[in-house]
Structure 1
Amino acid sequence: MKVRTALLAALFLSGCQNLSHQDDRALAAIEPSKSPQVNKKAHKRHPAPSLFGDDQLDAAEESDDLWVRISNDMQLDVPDNDRVRRQRAAILRSDSHMATIASRAEPYLYLMVEEIERRGLPMELVTIPMIESMFDPTARSRSNAVGLWQFVPQTGRNFGLRHDRWYDGRKDVLASTRAALDYLEYLNRFFDGDWLNTMAAYNAGEGRVRNAIVRNQKRGRPTDYWSLDLPRETLQYVPKILAMADVISNMDQYGVSMPALANEPKLRAVEIEGQLDIATAANLAGVRASQLKELNPALVRGVTSPSGPHRLLVPVEYADALELALADLPRNNRVTGRDYRVNRGDTLSLIASRHGVSVNELKMANNLSGHALRTGQSLRIPGSGVSSGQAFTDAEPAVAKRSRPATNVAQYTVKSGDTLWSISRKHGISQQSLLKWNGLSAKATIKPGSRLIVSGKSATASSSSVSYQVRRGDSLSSIAAKFQVAVVDVVRWNQLDRRNHLQPGQTLTLFVGDPG
């Protein structure tokens, strides 16, 4: 059956329009007023869930299809009224919108579903990033709303999303999802458990919705969402969410075919316990820096902030390798930077200004509690990662050279169920490179049988095994660099994990490419 998926053109345009009232969200959060229905409570903060860690990776779910799981968790009734019918018709008029959303959502959707289930919230909420940003974590509206959930700066700060020169929490998939659900839970308490008014307030701000309720109360009219006099955009917003949820729940009925998404985590949050730049992390894990940057768009300068959060989202198959390599990595090799020797007359502010960093960043990079310096003292000037010449490129990781390359271009034939994300992961390339090499736009759809270029060159398989005995002072990264292989391969070849770490005298098997 021909793929029928949601509204690319219609919802893409309306997705931008949805955010014209985002500044009202900030105003409502800055100047809250009391609801006539409920006593307003401080919003509830949920602790960071353990579900993003190792213990969930082996958990078996009832369905192998994430879309089925999402459908089974829908809780809200979808009325058969004209406003919902119009939005559903708009969804069904497009053949590409849901394919685009599925491709973009694939790495993140499982994490969101887990968090929504953990809180016992309606699964319809997972459609909000589909409406707001088409699941683009870097999306920005004309109202300066940013990220998957489209937070304006003030509302983001009110719900714990920091934004500074290092880090923008609105683009952090985990942090922004938790903040958005905190916000929605707060709004739901404000509107006495009414989810439709809650979602309307997420779009228009609680003040607008509350005022509409008050007006109806004074006139003796109903105060449900469908009876309120709200901005035109908000009148369309909730029906879009309900229509999208209805289409996802009844794909067969509406003749919609969605790219299959496996009901399993694609990413894992790796705690890195301090600053780390993406170029270094990519080399340690054996992935491309551009791919790691794509998964962690909150890192403005390509390095984790001195003040945190100190974690990275990493494809699950590389997470163990990164954790093991980090355990052996010297502290001064974690962040690209340079050393500076203090001269007579230097001050922290003078040194910071000269090198384009803040005094606080300089103090954190050197574990300084005060401002006192001594002549001849060595300071580490923190780098941004971007200036290292390694970050965000599509070059192979520095330690990942395995064998001599052939000159032919590698191609891949698209199979049923493939997505741009799954193909890029399978071939170890970034989705941006896949699009660029094949002349595709970010909204492009792919069909089974079509051929895609997946590499500018393919490697030969010529290699030979060698044994290496671990010496005192060795680390995974130093051994990988010595033999010009990837850390992730050393881990895989020797079945290493956190319980089976490197010990002096241990013998490793390495597969080394023939010398050129």
Structure 2
Amino acid sequence: MKARTALLAALVLSGCQNLSHQDDRALAVLEPIKSSQVNKKAHKKYASGMLFGDDQIDETSSTDNLWVRISDDMQLDTTDNERIRKQREWLLRNDNHLATIASRAEPYLYLIVEEIERRGLPMELVTIPMIESMFDPHARSRSNAVGLWQFVPATGKNFGLRRDNWYDGRRDVLASTSAALDYIQYLNRFFDGDWLQTLAAYNAGEGRVRNAIQRNQRAGRPTDYWSLDLPRETQMYVPKILAMADMISNADKYNVTLPVLANEPKLRVVNTGGQLDLNVAAQLAGLRTAQLKEVNPALSRGVTSPKGPYRLLVPVEYADTLELALADLPKNERVRTRTYQVASGDTLSRIAQNQGVSVAELKLANNLRSNNLRRGQQLAIPANGQPSKALTNTTKPQQLASRTRSKAKVQYQVRSGDNLWSISQVHGISHNELAKWNGLKANASLKPGMKLVVYSPKRKSNQSMVYQVKRGDSISSIAARFQVAINDVMRWNQLDKTDYLKPGQELTLFVKNNS
């Protein structure tokens, strides 16, 4: 109790939910306190080294199924009770709920599991973003909590999540996971290792939980979580976490089918070495810009912030290609910028539509507080914008038809284990596009046998040519010159990322036939 008493005295004047001292946050990096609620099987099988670096792939895991790994690392011993059963029954009645979460979690879940294990924390914590946001990094609550872990601005700032016009750390999967686990470790020390009080405080704030404990102490009542008088939401919050963890651990017992997730990373961190336009990064890596934006939701303007962090999450199969290309990329080609001079009769909405951006993006890029413009004014066009030749009065159906005409319509039959994310990756489209084309919500679950309409990018007829390497050439410079993907150049010529080009060497290229 001494440790808690000292912490309580230090925080009495600092408010219930928000932390204000760097020394308090430093407590979060200490070893977790031993708790009677934690059983003995604590991360012996899979714990790896540092996460979020180049060595994050753990080859020693003894299972191919990520759900099994998660289940094996559950640590909390809790007695089943009516509140937990009620939440479990709700989940069983809504059997598509877990499937939706699993679909959304697939790109990020491995990374989060690795970080929880690295810190030696109970794997039940992986269910927090399932409860908080259903694993939607764009989720926003009525109280302005944002991201997978639902940080409000003040708490996010206290735990190092920076925000500017380019970047919101609350939506950064890596940064927000690290901050959330820092906060949880801080709370766990605050409550002397009591994990149920810790989880309750993540929802309600340590002040509310502390006050409930003190009220029970004064009344001579028990101070365990189940005995505390807490807000109704918090009374349901911890049982939701425990019920979710129980169902994951005992899927067979409850006849729950979880989509198989491979026990391997879907994404890898690539150090960009400075500010980088996602359009440039996507071209260098050989994937669609929409794919890169989807897994880097913290970037508000399609380009990394000038202040950093200088890194991107990239699908593992494209990461090596991007790293190789960035090594040869000139500094002046990292960010695509352009300006527009306002003409008589221009409006923000007309300029935005013609430039392929939203009015909000245009105002943000130019720090505009109103829609007023003056003739001759220079506007910066956000890097993610693409000029449009379409008429400004084009209707939404016409715009959709225009976008899909350049693509090949195919029909795809859903197989067992499919989800919108996995299907979109195969066809080189975004899962939001796929959902819209089929009248589905972005988080919709799919059933085997369903037929989906897919508009895959049409392949223009290409002609082969032989290119003779000149002094100073690199794979990335050749790819850029002929507007082809770097990984295609490597594949066509059976090159490896470690291969060096020699002057006079002949390369086969398949370039667009514009005739």
- Please indicate, yes or no, whether the TM-score normalized by the shorter chain is above 0.5: yes
Q: Give, in angstroms, the shift of residue 457 of structure 1.
A: 5.2
1:29 aligns with 2:29: no
Give the conservation status (yes or no) of the 8 Å contact 2:213–2:223. Answer: yes
> Structure 1 residues 58, 192: closer, same or farther in 2, change over 3 A?
closer
Q: 1:247 is paired with a residue of what secondary structure?
A: helix
Give the conservation status (yes or no) of the 8 Å contact 2:15–2:207. Answer: no
Aligned residue in 1 for 2:26: 42
Aligned residue in 2 for 1:387: 385
Q: Which amino acid aligns with 1:273?
A: G
Correspondence list, 1:69-468, <5 A: 69-338=69-338, 356=366, 384-389=382-387, 408-456=408-456, 458-459=458-459, 465-468=464-467
- In 2, Cα distance between equivalents of 1:92 and 1:286: 42
- Structure-2-length-normalised TM-score: 0.78
- In 1, Cα distance between equivalents of 2:491 and 2:480: 16
Give the conservation status (yes or no) of the 8 Å contact 1:324–1:497. Answer: no
Identity %: 67
- In 1, Cα distance between equivalents of 2:481 and 2:102: 41
> Structure 1 residues 315, 505: closer, same or farther in 2, change over 3 A?
same
Q: Which amino acid aligns with 2:155?
A: T
> Structure 1 residues 312, 504: closer, same or farther in 2, change over 3 A?
farther
- In 1, Cα distance between equivalents of 2:303 and 2:25: 37
Aligned residue in 1 for 2:468: 469
- Structure-1-length-normalised TM-score: 0.78
Q: Give, in angstroms, the shift of residue 45 of structure 1.
A: 4.8
- In 1, Cα distance between equivalents of 2:305 and 2:436: 30
Q: Which amino acid aligns with 1:73?
A: D
What does the per-residue CA deviation read over 1:314-344, in whole Å, with 9 as the maximum and x for residues that have no partner? Answer: 111111111111111110110112599xxxx
Q: Give, in angstroms, the shift of residue 235 of structure 1.
A: 0.6
Aligned residue in 1 for 2:45: none
Q: 2:26 is paired with a residue of what secondary structure?
A: coil
What does the per-residue CA deviation read over 1:66-98, in whole Å, with 9 as the maximum and x for residues that have no partner? Answer: 111111110012321000000000110112111
- In 2, Cα distance between equivalents of 1:407 and 1:219: 70
- In 1, Cα distance between equivalents of 2:502 and 2:77: 59
- In 1, Cα distance between equivalents of 2:151 and 2:141: 10
Q: Give, in angstroms, the shift of residue 443 of structure 1.
A: 3.1
- In 2, Cα distance between equivalents of 1:223 and 1:58: 41
Q: 1:207 is paired with a residue of what secondary structure?
A: helix
Give the conservation status (yes or no) of the 8 Å contact 1:265–1:316. Answer: yes
Q: Give, in angstroms, the shift of residue 498 of structure 1.
A: 4.8
- In 2, Cα distance between equivalents of 1:431 and 1:472: 42
Flag structure 2 segments of 5+ consecutive residues without an equivalent.
1-13, 31-48, 341-362, 369-378, 389-404
Give the conservation status (yes or no) of the 8 Å contact 1:335–1:383. Answer: no
Q: Give, in angstroms, the shift of residue 132 of structure 1.
A: 0.3
> Structure 1 residues 65, 389: closer, same or farther in 2, change over 3 A?
farther
Q: Give, in angstroms, the shift of residue 173 of structure 1.
A: 0.4
Between 1 and 2, higher relative CO (CA 8 Å, sep ≥ 6) is seen in 1
- In 2, Cα distance between equivalents of 1:416 and 1:189: 44
- In 1, Cα distance between equivalents of 2:117 and 2:408: 47
Bigger drift between 330-339 and 72-81 goes to 330-339
Q: Give, in angstroms, the shift of residue 493 of structure 1.
A: 3.4
> Structure 1 residues 408, 27: closer, same or farther in 2, change over 3 A?
same
Aligned residue in 2 for 1:488: 487
Give the conservation status (yes or no) of the 8 Å contact 1:321–1:491. Answer: no
Give the conservation status (yes or no) of the 8 Å contact 2:428–2:456. Answer: no
Q: 1:255 is paired with a residue of what secondary structure?
A: coil
Q: 1:312 is paired with a residue of what secondary structure?
A: strand
Aligned residue in 1 for 2:66: 66
Give the conservation status (yes or no) of the 8 Å contact 2:321–2:497. Answer: no
Give the conservation status (yes or no) of the 8 Å contact 1:494–1:509. Answer: yes
- In 1, Cα distance between equivalents of 2:24 and 2:157: 19
Aligned residue in 2 for 1:363: none
What does the per-residue CA deviation read over 1:9-60, in whole Å, with 9 as the maximum and x for residues that have no partner? Answer: xxxxxxxxxxxxxxxx98522468xxxxxx96733359xx743344344724
